[in-house]
Structure 1
Amino acid sequence: MPKMDFKRDLGCEIVRYFDERSISFEREQSSDTPWLLERYFRLRLKEIAPRPRRVHHSTELRAKLGAVEERYRLPFTEIEQRFEIGSDVSEFQSRLASNVSVPDAMLNDLGLHHLHLGAKRSPDAKRVERSDMLLLVMVCPDDAYFVDIRPHPQSSDPDDYGWSQQEYLRLIDRNWSHLLDPYELRGVTGSSIPDSGRRALQQKNANVATQIGDRAIAPPGGGMTSSGANLTHVWMAMKVLWQLEQLEGAIHADWEGQHQTFQRAGLDAGLDTELHLVPIKGATLPEILVGPFTGGLLLSGWTIQIADTGTRLEWGLQWA
């Protein structure tokens, strides 16, 4: 039977992806593919991919823009223009946005990115300096919904619930109720706990359905596991790993017939051949592992490679 460990091969590709982008992560986890997958999906959620998007302002945000200080309005306008033309907005994100070791509780829970309304660039010129005011945005593939401008929460202040204010969900519901439709839970009543209670639950990595009007809304960001990982990302990682197990099983089941076909074609693929999962030339990891907000999960763009010869066997690796 052929030797293969496609989970290990995928893990190596993720490590390579992190290293090429100078993404720091716990090196002792380099051989833990489930862990690497969850961290990869975490990074993709925290990043805002540059692409043209329609920008929408909430009614509440439009009402307060005239009173916003000019030092915040200038970066606000720049962020808006960048979203519209599809330019990179990462320099307005927190430095932790590229740190896969730190989960974003607000993003995992409420589904909101926070952008710093700073004008000064940091010494490394990669990020603007941390600002006192934040722009809260729900980012979708073709649209960016500017929810509100709020003061930067102070995590050290036990009475500051800025990262867990349920008013943000009510703002979304009042302005774009359709955005919450996918997260509506039917037949249940959501919680009406105060923001202090929600913050306590966030700190314990606990999920809560929020009562918004007459609807119970699950966490739009995907929710959290007890470890702090995004619940949706854990499910996605499990699905990918299951797909790889199925692929290995299918190759084992039909290998005797397949290797005869390869030999007739002049390929050195014996019964004990070592196989590796590799990306098709030109395919990038984000294209191969399609994450949230892109219409589901797709594992494609791979081929099988014979270890000794480097010959690539074009398998039909397409899953919806």
Structure 2
Amino acid sequence: MKLKSDFFGDWVNIQKDILMNHWGYDVSSVPDNKIPLVYFNTEQRRPEAKVRKLLLADTFSCPQNLESGWERLKALIKSGHDLTPNLSKLVSNLNNKDSMLNDWGVHHFHLGENMKGDFIERTGPLLFALLIENKFYAIGIFNHGSWADQDIIEIIHRNWSSVVERYQIKGIVSSTPLTEQERLTLRKRNAFSFVTVQDGTVYAPIGGGMVSSGFNIQAVMRRDHQKMFLRSLEEHLDRQLDSLREVFEKQGYNGEPELEAILDITEDKYTALFPKYGVSAMLWSKA
């Protein structure tokens, strides 16, 4: 008995289904080997709809003309509604990559009051925020184009250094700080650098950083890790097939050399399904 499977391909198909049928993207032109990178890029850009605790930076202030839009967004944050309509319209572009998000982990939100199609009406000033687990860290309201303003990291460090502590680089002497334009130029080239705040603390990219293609480094690492993990599941299942022979024989197995399995993934487990025989085998569970 030998296993016939392509768990990585099955996983890619699951991501395709989410991209197409849940998020509404056309992935027909995306090669399968890039689907995981596109998926993780999209997932990072579209915050999960869930209840979040709102925390304001010490210098946070909302201009009077944006207060209504800010109150509306706060209600969405606290109630767990979808925040996508307040994002940039570029989130609809599957190939677009948010360089500030990839570099510093910072989302930006429009503060309009009324919907215009699928998005809230656009505003010049934007709310910059970190979204980590079930927290919404409101950094401040910045002018459009302030993508590399050093104050963003200064505010994060001053207010929530413990939240981003794992990105601190210990024991190095910082070089001359980059200007905003220099940092923007690096991002355009899909490059990144460390950032030093006023007290001398040095941070690696809080957003993970980018590879030369512009995709997030963490997306590449997640894809590669998942590929190895799924391969290990296939190898383990292949070794267990003989011990399951009796189960398959009861379902009509008659000595065929290969048993075809497909991968099924739910929130808490991975399962191999053998559709020809109506048999399933647990591969991995969070429990």
Q: CA deviation at 1:59?
A: 1.8
1-structure distance, mates of 2:178, 2:32: 41
SS at match of 2:35: helix
TM-score (norm 2): 0.91
Deviation at 1:193, TM superposition (A): 1.3
The residue number in structure 2 matching 1:262 is 247
**What is the match of residue 272 of structure 2?**
304
The whole-number CA distance in structure 2 between the counterparts of 1:86 and 1:12 is 28
- Aligned partner letter, 1:262: V
Distance 2:31 2:18 in 1: 12
Determine whether 1:53 maps to 2:52: yes
Contact 1:306-1:312 within 8 A present in 2 as well: yes
Q: How does 1:178-257 map to 2 (within 5 A)?
A: 178-191=162-175, 192-212=177-197, 213-257=199-243
Letter in structure 1 aligned against 2:10: D
Task: Tell me the amino acid that sits aligned with residue 44 of structure 1.
Answer: E
- Which sections of structure 1, spanning at least 5 residues, go unmatched? 154-161, 288-299
Q: Given the alignment, which residue of 261, 265, 280 partners 1:313?
A: 280
**1:121, 1:129 within 8 Å by CA — same for their partners in 2?**
yes
How far, CA to CA, are the matches of 1:181 and 1:275 in structure 2? 43
Match of 2:150 in 1: 166
Structure 1 residues 231 and 25: CA distance shift in structure 2, 3 A: farther
- Deviations along 1:10-30, one digit per CA (max 9) or x if unpaired, are 111111111212532442335
Deviations 1:155-186, CA, capped at 9 Å, x for gaps: xxxxxxx1122220001111222122010112
Q: Which amino acid aligns with 2:99?
A: A
Identity across the alignment (%): 23
The answer to whether the 8 A contact 1:275-1:306 is kept is yes
Instruction: Read off the aligned partner of 2:187 and give its amino acid letter.
Output: Q
Pair 261,215 (structure 1): closer, same or farther in 2 beyond 3 Å: farther
- Structure 2 unaligned spans of 5+: none
Q: CA deviation at 1:97?
A: 2.2
SS in 2 for 1:38: helix
Q: Deviation of residue 267 (structure 1)?
A: 5.5
Contact 2:174–2:200 (CA<8 Å) still a contact in 1? no
Equivalent-residue separation in structure 2 for 1:22 and 1:142 (angstroms):
21
Runs of 4+ in 1 over 6 A off after TM superposition: none
Q: 1:3 to 1:319 in 2, by over 3 A?
A: same
Match of 1:11?
12
Partner of 1:29, secondary structure, is coil
Q: 1:263 and 1:182 mapped to 2: Cα distance? A: 49
Q: Whole-Å Cα distance in 2 between the matches of residues 239 and 25 of structure 1?
A: 26
Distance 1:236 1:248 in 2: 18
Q: Quote the residue 2:126 is aligned against.
A: 134
- Mapped to 1, the partners of 2:192 and 2:142 lie a distance apart of 24
